[in-house]
Structure 1
C-alpha cells in the first residue's frame, strides 16, 4: 500500500504531530502488522519521533536553531535559506516504524512529527507498508 497525504504548516518553524493521521492510514492497510515507511518529499522539513509534552515542540525548535553556526552560506538560490536545508538533512526525511494491530509500535511518549523549517507550506508525505 502506498498513500500520499499533505500536511499544512502555519509558521516558519513548527512541529506537527502526524501520529493519528499515520495510524488512520494503517487501519486502511491490507495487513494489520508489518513496517510503516514514511518519507517527506521536501528539503526544508523533516520527519522524526519526539515526546510532545507541553512546550517540548518549542524546545526542539529552539535547540535546532541554537545549533546553527553563524556561517557565510553559499546557497545560490538564497543563502539565508541554507540553514533550513542543513537542519532538515540532519534530522532526516524518512522513518520506518513497526506496526501491529494497525497501530504504530511507539514508546509510551513517542509521537511521529513533521518538523517544518521553512513554512508556512503545504508538505507532501508518502506512506507505504510492507
Structure 2
C-alpha cells in the first residue's frame, strides 16, 4: 500500500490525481490486476470523469451544490453537513483494472480527489493487487 498526501487549497475543488495513481501502478510492477484508490475521510471523495475540459469539473461541483446546498435544516452542528452528503454521493473509493501494466481508463477519463470541506491535507491510499 502507498499513502499519498494531497493538499487542497479551496473549500470545494476537484484535483486530478491520475498521474499519481498511474505512476504508483507502474511502480508496482503488476502486469494484470486491479488498483484500488481510497480516501479515509468523510468530507471528500474519489471520482472518475472527464479530465480534458475543466468546465466538466465545475459542472459536477455546481450540480452537487444543488443536491446538498450550503444552507439547509441540517442537524450536524459542525457546519459541514453538505460536505458529508457530497462525499456520500461521490464515494470514497474506486477500483480500476490494470492490463499490460497500465491503468485501464477511457480516453477522456481522469481520477479526481474531490474536496468538499477544504482546504485540508488529505490522504489517498493506493493498493495494487494482481
Q: TM-score, normalised by structure 1?
A: 0.91
Contact 1:32 1:102 (C-alpha < 8 Å) held by counterparts: yes
Give the superposed CA RMSD: 1.3
Distance across 1 between alignment mates of 2:119 and 2:102: 29
Name the structure 2 match of 1:66: 66
1:46 — aligned with what?
45
d(CA) in 2 for partners of 1:37, 1:68: 27
Structure 2 unpaired stretches of 5+ = none
| 1:19-98 equivalences in 2 (<5 Å) | 19-52=18-51, 53-68=53-68, 71-76=72-77, 78=78, 80-98=79-97
Q: Secondary structure at the match of 2:73?
A: coil
Rounded to whole Å, the distance in 1 between the matches of 2:34 and 2:10 is: 31
Matched, 1:102 2:117: no
Q: Does the CA-based 8 Å contact 1:26-1:32 persist in structure 2?
A: no
Runs of 4+ in 1 over 4 A off after TM superposition: none
Shift of 1:102: 2.7
Given that 1:34 and 1:99 are in contact with CA atoms closer than 8 Å, whether structure 2 keeps it comes out as yes
TM-score by length of 2: 0.91
What is the CA–CA distance in structure 1 between the aligned matches of 2:38 and 2:24, rounded to whole Å?
A: 14
